[in-house]
Amino acid sequence: MNDLKIFSGTANQALAKRITDYLGVPLSDVGLGKFPDGEISCKINEDIRGRDVFLIQPTCPPVNENIMQLLIMIDSALRASAERITAVIPYFGYARQDRKDEGRVPITAKLVANLITRAGANRVLTMDLHAAQIQGFFDVPVDHLYAAPVLNDHFLHSGIDLANAVIVSPDEGSIKRALGHAKRIGGTVAIIDKRRTSAETTVQAHILGGQVEGKVALMFDDMISTAGSITGAAKTLHEHGAKEIHVAATHPVLCGPAIERLKAAKLDSLVVTDSIPLRDDQVLPQTRVLGIAPLLGEAIKRIHRNESISRLFR
């Protein structure tokens, strides 16, 4: 893989290093900084003419700065005559604004996809998009990975009583995800019927499907942002007599009141991946961070060799 070059922005350099360690290649050198007025500076310090270039940069908080840094790195690689540029975006920000659900609002996920494409990316590699249709917003190929195998493997080897497990969908939109995990882990499936009484207040009304009393409840989601939905669901499970509650999510955005809500939720475990770096004050005693570097590294290797990505999930 002599013609493979992997660069990292500043959003998650530790993950980028773990990916290159998995692949057995060095992390390539790029100089990133700021001009006195705050504008981002970038210089690629290696020859990449005719090379296959991968730029690792999740667009996590600070979202706008990380997106701009990614765009500037793409432009730098394009102007340095890279053969192919793949934007590796483990977490894709602005994904929640994926449709026009009322008048005079933007579809920001499409806008960001356009920016990445117009900047010069030939391909995008991402993981657990908030809405699968975002893949279609890009006018270049998108390889969409899933953290489900990593999360499932954790629970299958965790020592948790899975024979007494119920896979809980925290809302109607996560039913398909819950069914997928139940297929691999086992257990029954329950759905929390979430009713919103106002823009500020969410009420989890009741549970549909499987019983949760005396059960080990496992909840899966693509991200935890302010943690309102997931902790509200946990409260409902406690009220219905769940024996244990384990929450898993791919992307630990954890903004606003998320940490305080999670502390009060009395979770037995909180399982996330390292798609987004966590500060020390965001790590609770029950937090488990799973590595996705092998999955991303294998996908990068397959893209570089023009091999199938879907085989990773068969």
Catalytic amino acids?
A: 194
The Cα–Cα gap between 216 and 162 comes to 7
The number of CA neighbours under 13 Å toward the Cβ of 282 is 20
C-beta separation of 194 from 205 below 8 A: yes
- Which tokens hold the place of 189? 């499936």
- Per DSSP, the residues of 75-103 read HHHHHTT-SEEEEEESS-TTTT--S--ST
Beta bridge partners of 217: 166, 245
The number of CA neighbours under 13 Å toward the Cβ of 28 is 23
- Which tokens hold the place of 137? 């917003």
Which residue from 89, 113, 130, 148 is spatially nearest to 313, judged by alpha carbons?
148
Which residue from 225, 233, 229, 216 is spatially nearest to 252, judged by alpha carbons?
225
Hey, what amino acid is at 195?
R
Alpha-helical (H) ranges within the chain are 13-23, 63-79, 108-119, 148-156, 175-185, 228-239, 258-264, 293-304
The Cα–Cα gap between 264 and 271 comes to 16
Taking phi over 0 as left and psi of -120 to 50 as alpha, with beta for the rest, 266 belongs to left
